[in-house]
């Protein structure tokens, strides 16, 4: 099989038949063998029923139904475990991404040797409340990761099969897949300008104010995990050593000045408390480092999702 199209969706009943027909048309015309994996991420409309109908009329359409809503990252991760196509293409269900881009994306992976190609919605059809935060987000992510993409969060992306099998997407990390891929050892990341359309049916699932808090937090944890995920002690140990050393020096200085110059009681000096505090924080950081290392040794519980049905 040449292409797997992965579609995470929540409450997109109106779009699905049109999307499936469109993908089918494009792939047939380009002579590409394909499958579509639709992941129903806890919809409470008739999305799953529609997926079942689409599957009945075209067995290239597969479906996975989550028991509840786990989020887009979970949906992508679960689909990545079952896909089989040489090139995996992810696409939003709301018809904002155009299936017409599939053949060109396929070609970039197959012939130009990219590990990952990310879509770039150069001209966006979204309200300014979405486009402005996105600009900030992209600038911060570029700066932090060193990957020169204009549009990290574009739902339309193409991957070589072994890339999706190797990376782990969890939490809200779907926004940072290029960063995760780079750190996993897939540095050839390309970009393609793609056509973007305004939402035809339904409404956005990512319009809330919590994006402004969660986005920066995710960026911090992704860069932390990327740098120190496999060796947390290097992070905590370094800070702990620094803090411990500062505390030690302060207390040493206080003890010496007390013995040599018979100063008044060292407990009267504010510096004394600072020294003690630094010592305690230092040892706490060390302990945190050890605990992080222990957790690291047996952490495989991140991606556990209850699947209700699979077709």
Taking CB within 5 to 8 Å according to partner kind, which of ligand UDP, Mg ion, none is near residue 65? Answer: none
Tokens of 92: 């939003």
Residue-level length of the chain:
311
- Positions touching Mg ion (CB under 5 A) are 92, 94, 96
Cα distance between residue 74 and residue 259, in whole Å = 63
* Separation of alpha carbons 223 and 211, rounded Å: 18
User: Which of 14, 24, 41, 101 touches ligand UDP by CB under 6 A?
Assistant: 41
Would you say 206 or 253 has its CB closer to ligand UDP?
A: 206
**Inter-residue contact 150 to 122 (CB < 8 Å):** yes
Q: Does 9 bind ligand UDP (CB under 6 A)?
A: yes
69 interface partner picked from ligand UDP, Mg ion, none, CB below 5 to 8 A per type: ligand UDP
Euclidean distance between CA atoms 126 and 203, whole angstroms:
11
Q: In the numeric block, which tokens belong to residue 30?
A: 């380009």
Q: Smaller CB distance to ligand UDP: residue 10 or 192? A: 10
**Measured between alpha carbons, how far is 167 from 192 in angstroms, rounded to an integer?**
21
The contacts of residue 182 (CB under 8 Å, 6+ apart) are: 145, 147, 189
Give the residue, chosen from 1, 32, 69, 214, that forms a contact with ligand UDP under the rule CB under 6 A: 69
Give the nearest distance from C-beta 41 to ligand UDP in angstroms. Answer: 4
Any contact of residue 72 with ligand UDP (CB under 6 A)?
Answer: yes
Minimum CB separation of residue 92 from ligand UDP in Å reads 4
173 touches ligand UDP (CB under 6 A): no
Residue 216's alpha-carbon distances to 133, 160, 206, 211, 271, in angstroms, are: 11, 29, 15, 9, 35
Residue 68 vs 227, nearer CB to ligand UDP: 68
Burial 94-117 (b: 16+ CB within 10 A, else e): bbbbbbebbbebbbbbeeeebbbb
Structure tokens that stand for 249 in this block: 């020096």
Stretch that binds ligand UDP, among 79-87, 91-99, 187-195, 273-281 (CB under 6 A): 91-99
In terms of CB distance, is 92 or 101 closer to ligand UDP? Answer: 92
CB of 238 to ligand UDP, least distance (A): 37
| 289 is a contact residue toward ligand UDP (CB under 6 A) | no
Chain positions contacting ligand UDP, by CB under 6 A: 8-10, 12, 41, 69, 71-72, 75, 92-94, 96, 155, 204-206
């Amino acid at each position: 099989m040449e292409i797997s199209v992965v579609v995470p969706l929540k409450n997109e009943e109106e779009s699905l038949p049109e999307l499936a027909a469109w993908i089918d048309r494009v792939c047939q015309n380009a002579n590409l063998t394909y499958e579509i994996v639709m992941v129903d991420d806890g919809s409470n409309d008739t999305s799953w029923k529609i997926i079942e109908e689409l599957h009945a009329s075209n067995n290239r359409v597969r479906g996975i139904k989550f028991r509840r809503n786990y989020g887009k990252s979970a949906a992508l991760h679960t689909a990545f475990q079952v896909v089989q196509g040489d090139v995996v293409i992810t696409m939003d269900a709301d018809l904002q991404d155009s299936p017409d881009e599939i053949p060109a994306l396929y070609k970039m992976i197959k012939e130009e040797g990219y590990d990952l190609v990310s879509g770039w919605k150069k001209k966006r059809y979204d309200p300014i409340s979405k486009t402005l935060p996105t600009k900030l987000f992209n600038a911060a992510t570029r700066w932090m990761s060193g990957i020169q993409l204009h549009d990290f969060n574009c739902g339309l992306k193409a991957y070589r099969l072994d890339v999706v099998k190797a990376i782990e997407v969890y939490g809200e990390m779907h926004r940072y897949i290029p960063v995760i891929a780079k750190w996993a050892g897939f540095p050839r990341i390309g970009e393609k300008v793609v056509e973007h359309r305004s939402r035809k049916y339904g409404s956005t699932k990512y319009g809330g104010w919590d994006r402004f808090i969660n986005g920066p937090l995710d960026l911090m944890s992704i860069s932390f995990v990327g740098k120190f995920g496999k060796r947390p002690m290097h992070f905590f140990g370094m800070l702990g050593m620094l803090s411990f050393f500062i505390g030690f020096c302060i207390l040493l200085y206080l003890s010496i000045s007390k013995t040599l110059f018979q100063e008044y009681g060292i407990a009267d000096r504010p510096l004394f408390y600072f020294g003690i505090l630094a010592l305690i924080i230092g040892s706490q950081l060390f302990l945190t480092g050890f605990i992080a290392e222990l957790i690291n040794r047996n952490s495989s519980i991140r991606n556990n999702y209850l699947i209700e049905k699979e077709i």
